[in-house]
Amino acid sequence: MEFSFIVVPLTSRSISREEEQLIEELRKNIGEDKILEPTSKISQISIETQPDLMFLIFLSGGVSRTAVQIDLVYKCPKVIISYPGDNSLPSALGFIERKRTDTRTLHMYYTSLDKSLIDDIKLVSRSCEAAFKTMRSRIGIVFENNIRDEWYLTLKNSNITIKIIESINISKSSYEKFIEDLYNELKNIVEKYKLDGVTLDCFKLIREVNYTPCLAFTRLLEEGIPIACECDILSLLSMILIKNINRELIKRTAMMNLVDLEGSIIRLAHCTGPRTMFESYELVPHYETNLPQAIRGRVSEGKRCTIFRMSPDLKTATIITGRVVENVEKLKHLKTCQTRIGVDTGMYITMREILGNHHIVVLDNIVEELRIALWYIGAETVMIGSLTEQ
């Protein structure tokens, strides 16, 4: 299913020359078929199929009632665009207070309507499309018996397709053969069932073979295949979302445990991650089991990163942003997993903002794309850290 969006300019008067030029630029850069003619009447709007996202540009006052009528007919999420001139903002606010549906709205306010609007519409539509695709993912679960009940809430009433894999064929003859077999088996499963990502019960596998799967996971992430530990569906969906935002980002993304909070610093650790996100790495014994092997990666200090976690029902999310200020050398004292980072957010953090253990860590600043994608999914987001470059 393809994602679609429509831009509807609303005005109760004739448009100005500047507005006409802006609309022409929108058509040129976004697509003729996506930009409707400016109107004040819903009867003049003709859309063959329900779009997945709609932008309402309030060019003037006197159109809030038209926007209410549009919202009743077209049930998709709405992005509201207004500016200080010609009663645009009062009309947009009038729509928000009059709307009678529970469709989600995102209000974008500008000091003036200019070509920066084009880039913003592209960013918002791309981010919403990433969320749209994520909520229609095909995911694989190996050894499903470890899925926690609350994670099933994530899948309820969604368009996510699940493929359960009860067993896999792997060798126990040596660690190297086990990793090669597991890597190939998981990659073949993804290809065979056309999956967007896969997760498995690591500790069940460890008990059976006496090796850890960390290095196989590392290799899959390096090839751009989302994979999550411990049958964690939430983390898997989060990684798929990151890949849908930007395919290359998954190679700089890891699932990590939150192991310490101190003032504005959040510390995380795990035993796997793509080597493409590390300045250097070494193979060491797995922390919990002392079995081979885990990745101890070194992340460069000063790197900007985005950390996030969704609630099991996808109704809330926490986004944390900051810079890496501690790497594995500075955190040797922590009795925890092998790859370790400390991130300074610039804001005091309490446990109240923390939604769970596993967090997704991305070595990049994707706060705006992520915030919009989570809005489209329907999550109310708590932001921790600066939205601008530090």
Class level of CATH domain 138-384: alpha beta
pLDDT at 123 over 70: yes
Give me the pLDDT at residue 146, please.
55
Per-residue confidence (pLDDT) for residue 46, from 0 to 100: 86
CATH code of the domain made up of 5-134:
3.40.50
Each residue of 237-248: pLDDT tens digit? Answer: 999 999 999 999
Higher pLDDT residue, 313 or 275? 275
Percent of the chain whose pLDDT exceeds 70: 95
Residues 6+ apart with CB under 8 A from 180: none
Mean pLDDT within 177-196:
97
When pLDDT is averaged across residues 108-133 and rounded to a whole number, the result is: 94
pLDDT of residue 390: 45
Whether the Cβ atoms of residue 307 and residue 252 lie closer than 8 Å to each other: no
Residues 198/140, Cβ–Cβ less than 8 Å: yes
| Encoded amino acid at 370, one letter | L
Residue 264 has pLDDT above 60, yes or no: yes
Where along the chain do the CATH 3.20.14 domains lie?
Answer: 138-384
Q: How far apart are CA 275 and CA 98, in angstroms?
A: 52
| Residue ranges matching CATH 3.40.50 in the chain | 5-134
d(CA 138, CA 224): 15
| pLDDT score, position 148 | 56
The mean predicted confidence, pLDDT, of the chain is 91
* Residue pLDDT, tens place only, 328-343: 887 877 766 778 899 9
pLDDT value at position 145? 61
For residues 92 and 59, give the distance between their C-alpha atoms in angstroms, rounded to a whole number.
Answer: 10
Q: Please tell me the predicted confidence (pLDDT) of residue 387.
A: 56
- For 250, counting Cβ atoms within 10 Å of its Cβ (0-12 exposed, 13-18 middle, 19+ buried), the class is buried
Other C-beta atoms lying within 10 Å of the C-beta of residue 45: 17
How many residues are listed for the chain in this entry?
Answer: 390
Dihedral angle of Cα 213, 219, 224, 227, to the nearest 10 degrees: 0
